[in-house]
Structure formats: structure tokens, C-alpha cells
Structure 1
Amino acid sequence: MTTPKKTVARRALPQWLTSLTGHVVPPLITLAFLLVFWEIICSSPTASIPAPSRVVSETWELIAHPFYVGQGIDQGLFWHIFASLRRVALGYCLAAVVGIALGTLVGQSQWAMRGLDPIFQVLRTVPPLAWLPLSLAAFKDGNPSAIFVIFITAIWPIIINTAVGIRNIPQDYLNVAKVLRLNQFEYFTKIMIPAAAPYIFTGLRIGIGLSWLAIVAAEMLIGGVGIGFFIWDAWNSSRISDIILALIYVGIVGYLLDRTIAFVAKAVTRNTASA
């Protein structure tokens, strides 16, 4: 005789398999097609780009030993990525704190918007790497210079989206705050931030993507341990397979960073932020 628990498990299993098939199988099929196509067009010995099979064979030591610790920049890929993530974390967290604060000021005050918004609109159009020589001159060191580049890259979408979120708070929410006679701190924590949270997290998601893009480019110029300099060093040594492997890791890490912010956004905003 079938127990109720077994019956529920059998009914749930096809739905789980259907969901897995719908989300996992299509990307796998696309990936397999791309790999086969890549293998075919790059299988010639004279091809300038190595085929996937050649990439795996030439980078197997890097794949098998990601935690290798050597001298100087001779490190496993894990440590290069970790160094880059550490710089991104510092610059991004600074940008998040300052960006949300400035965005709140601009969104809440007409005077602040008129005074600061034109400056923000001009500065945000400056390419991130254009700030690197100035930061090197100011900090005299590559590591804080890279962190500053991350900060100045990530802060603009956070400021703009936070300001838009603050300016779009529904009038009903403002009326409730007046009826309840909330003080400034209560209004900020219970009305303003929760109402603007979807906009804020949109800016945070854009910011983390730009941060990861900027750090790879900045590290190509500042040197030292980091995935950006690893790619540049591989290019100087004509190790194309190493570059391809590093790019794959960069893409995977960038995707995981975006999904992490999206997960936090859905948890904080109770699914009102876009996934």
C-alpha cells in the first residue's frame, strides 16, 4: 500500500524534473553546439585560436591546481581571482555606501539635485580607466588606485537609481508618514528605503557588473596578482589558451556576482526587485 508521503514525492518528482529540464538542458545544448562549432573551425594546426580540446590540454595544470602558491605573480588562478575580488569588494562597498547616501540626498532635495546632478552626469561619462593615471598620481600605489577605479565606476548607477527611487515614492506613502507623524529617522528606515529598495538594488546590480569589468582592465595596467594582469601576462607570453581559460573564469565569476546581488535583492524586497 502506497503511503501519502510516497505519493506526494512521486507527484513532486515530475514537476522537479520538468523544471530542471526547462532551465538546465537548453543552456547545455547551446553550450555543446558552440563547443562543437568552435572545435571544428579551430581544429586546423594553423588556426590562430586554439580549439577547446587544445585549450584543456594546454591549461590542465592551471585547471588541476587552482590553489598553487608560488613566488610573486606565479600563483594559481584561485589566488588571482581572489585578489581581484578583494579589490572589487572594497571599492564596491565604498561605492554602495556613498552612492546610496548621495542618491538619497539628490532624490529628496531639489537644491541638491540642481547642484549635484549636472556634475554627476558629466563625471559618469568619463571612462573608468581614464581615472587610473590620476589615482596613481594621488595614491602612489597600484592597489588603492585600482580600488578607487572600482569606486568611481560603480558609484554612478547607484546614485542615479537611488535618486530615481526616492523621487518615485508614492504620495500615499508620504501621506501615511504625515498621519503617523514619523520623525526623520523613522521615515528614512520605514518609508523611504523600503519603497526605493527595488531601484537601489537595480543600481547595485549594474554597479557590481561594471566593477568586475573595470578591475580586469585596471589590473592589466597596475600589474601584480590579479586576473586582469594574469590575462595581460599571458598575452605577452603568447599563451592564448591561458587567456581563454581566464576569460571563462571571469565570465563565471561575473555571473555569480550578479546572481548574488539579485538573490539578496529578492530577499530584501520580497520579490519586488527584478531577478
Structure 2
Amino acid sequence: MNASVQPPAAVAPAVTAIEPAVMPPPSLVARLRPAAERLLPPMLVVLTLVVLWEVVASGPDATLPSPSKVWADAGELIADPFFDRGGLDKGLFWHLLASLRRVALGFALSAVAGIAVGLLIGTSQLAMRGLDPIFQVLRTVPPLAWLPLSLAAFREAQPSAIFVIFITSIWPIIINTAVGVRNVPQDYRNVAAVIRLRGFGYFSRIILPAAAPYIFTGLRIGVGLSWLAIIAAEMLIGGVGIGFFIWDAWNSSNLSDIVVALIYVGLVGFALDRLMALAGHLVTRGTATA
């Protein structure tokens, strides 16, 4: 009897595991490209302006110092901003620090008062009608126009300078806070009415969070105006401060010192603006106006 021939058993194909592709780490150039794209354009613009300044100010009829002359005349002032020989003979760090202290105090007072008054105007139609015309008139008065009255009232330079900062920076804070309150979405107000949220809870949970982007926009404008006001005020009140340093350098015909001081003023003003923008971004979680 013939034995039946069994067909060979099917052999399952071998399954080979496919390993996921391993991405190579980004190269150094790829990691540095974002920073280079942010930094290179302003650096090239600054370098171009410095070269143009050097060319224009090196002519025989030039009245302003060139960058090379500024470095030659004010090299010690640039290299050591921390010296203190007593009196008004101080480095730029101490003059800037004195000005920043005045700005911090005056701006803090204007921030507290401006936000409080802005909330009042934004929530009360009667307060809006009574106070808004007065504020619109007062905010057009130049900062230095307040200085004689503040000197007559306080009889001292320090509080007079702080008052000038206060009266200069408070108006954008008031206006932006009031606009922010009036632009709170009606849906938010309806929710507060449904859950019967009133008083401090209504302001802290509904009004302030919704108006925060507008408030920080006003604070950002106000801190810039504060820095502008203190520079101008210190030219007249004297004492330690970057404004008086610039005025004293002008009286001494030290144009190079003035150029160095103006660069420091611009850098500090830029830093103040960035810090206030960062604070607004953190508090409002990125919803503050850029």
C-alpha cells in the first residue's frame, strides 16, 4: 500500500522588527539659527549707523564727536561706571540708579492711583461724565510745566521730581484702565449676574482679569513717559541723576559724555519697556497687547 505523501507544512515568514528611525541631533548651526535671525538684523543696522556716524562726524566741518572720539574722550566713563569720588563726581551707574529710584516711586504711585481712578471711571457713567473732561485737559500739559508749581508746593527737589513723574504717567494708566473696563464682554457680566457675584469678588474675578491687557498697556506707556519726564526734570532740579549729568556735561562742553549718557538712557528705557511687557505677558498669560 502506497503511503500517502503529506504536503510540507507551510513555513510562516520571518517577521523582522522595524526599528524606528533615529533622528540625528540638530547641528550647532541649526540650534544657533533662531538666535542669529533675531540678533543679526539689529546688529547689522547698528553697525551700519555707527559707520555712517563715523564718516559724517569725521569731516572738517563736523560739530558732533565721532564714535572714535567719543571712545577716546569718555573711555574711562564707559569702562568704569561705578566710580564714586564724592559729591556729584560719580559714575553713570549711580546717576542712573538715583533716577530709577525716583521713577520707581513716582510710577508706583501713579499706577495705584491710575488703576483705581480708571476702574471708577470705567464702571460709573456719572464719574466718567464728571472727570473725563478734566483729565483730557490736564493730560495735555507738558511735564516740565508742572515743575514750577511742584517746586513751589514742596519746596524740595526730590518730591517735586516724583510729582512730575506721577502727573506725567498717570493719564495713560487711567485712560487704558477705563477703556479696558468698558470693553469687558457682556457675557462675563451676565455670568457674574447669574452667580450673584458682586462687590470685591466681581472686580477681582471678572473686571480685573478681563481688563488686565488694557491696564498693562497703560502701565507700559506710563513707565516710558516716567523715564522721559525724570530726565527732563533732573536737568532743572540738579543733584545726582542722569538728567543733571547730561546738563552738567553740556555746561562743561563734554559732548562725548552726553553721547555716552544718551546711549545709557536709551538702553535703560528699552529695558524698562521690556520688563513691563514681560510682566504683562506673565500676568495676563500672553493676552496683553504686544
Calculate the TM-score normalised by the size of structure 2: 0.90
Structure 2 counterpart of 1:235: 250
In our comparison, the structure showing a higher alpha carbon Rg is 2
The reply on whether 1:218 has 2:233 as its aligned counterpart is yes
- Residues 9-42 of structure 1, C-alpha deviation per residue, up to 9 Å, x if partnerless? x338555422112110000101111111111111
Structure 1 counterpart of 2:261: 246
Structure 2 counterpart of 1:106: 121
Residue pair 2:214, 2:289 contacting (<8 A) in 1 also: no
Amino acid at match of 2:180: G
Shift of the 18–274 alpha-carbon distance from structure 1 to 2, 3 Å rule, reads farther
Shift of the 16–195 alpha-carbon distance from structure 1 to 2, 3 Å rule, reads farther
Structure 1 counterpart of 2:12: none
Structure 2 counterpart of 1:132: 147
The 5 A counterparts of 1:141-152 are 141-152=156-167
Structure 2 unaligned blocks of 5 or more: 1-19
- RMSD of the TM alignment (CA)? 1.5
Distance in 2 separating the partners of 1:199 and 1:56: 43
Distance in 2 separating the partners of 1:13 and 1:196: 43
Structure 2 counterpart of 1:207: 222
2:34 maps to which of 19, 24, 36 = 19
1:75 Cα deviation from its structure 2 partner: 0.7
Structure 1 counterpart of 2:5: none
Distance in 2 separating the partners of 1:7 and 1:237: 64
Residue pair 2:161, 2:234 contacting (<8 A) in 1 also: yes
The 5 A counterparts of 1:46-125 are 46-125=61-140
Distance in 1 separating the partners of 2:140 and 2:64: 34
1:61 Cα deviation from its structure 2 partner: 1.0
Amino acid at match of 1:259: R
Q: Which region of structure 1 is more displaced relative to structure 2, 37-46 or 223-232? A: 37-46
Distance in 2 separating the partners of 1:142 and 1:153: 17
What secondary structure does 2:26 align onto? helix
Amino acid at match of 2:107: Y
Question: How many pairs align?
Answer: 270
Structure 1 unaligned blocks of 5 or more: none
Q: Where do 4+ consecutive residues of structure 1 move more than 6 Å?
A: none
Calculate the TM-score normalised by the size of structure 1: 0.95
Distance in 2 separating the partners of 1:62 and 1:153: 31
Q: Which region of structure 1 is more displaced relative to structure 2, 154-163 or 42-51? A: 42-51
Distance in 2 separating the partners of 1:131 and 1:70: 33
1:161 Cα deviation from its structure 2 partner: 0.2
The 5 A counterparts of 1:190-201 are 190-201=205-216
1:183 Cα deviation from its structure 2 partner: 2.5
State, as a whole percentage, how many aligned pairs show the same letter: 66
The reply on whether 1:184 has 2:199 as its aligned counterpart is yes
The reply on whether 1:270 has 2:290 as its aligned counterpart is no
The reply on whether 1:168 has 2:189 as its aligned counterpart is no
Amino acid at match of 1:195: A
Distance in 2 separating the partners of 1:150 and 1:218: 9
Of Structure 1 and Structure 2, the greater helix share is in 1
1:45 Cα deviation from its structure 2 partner: 5.1
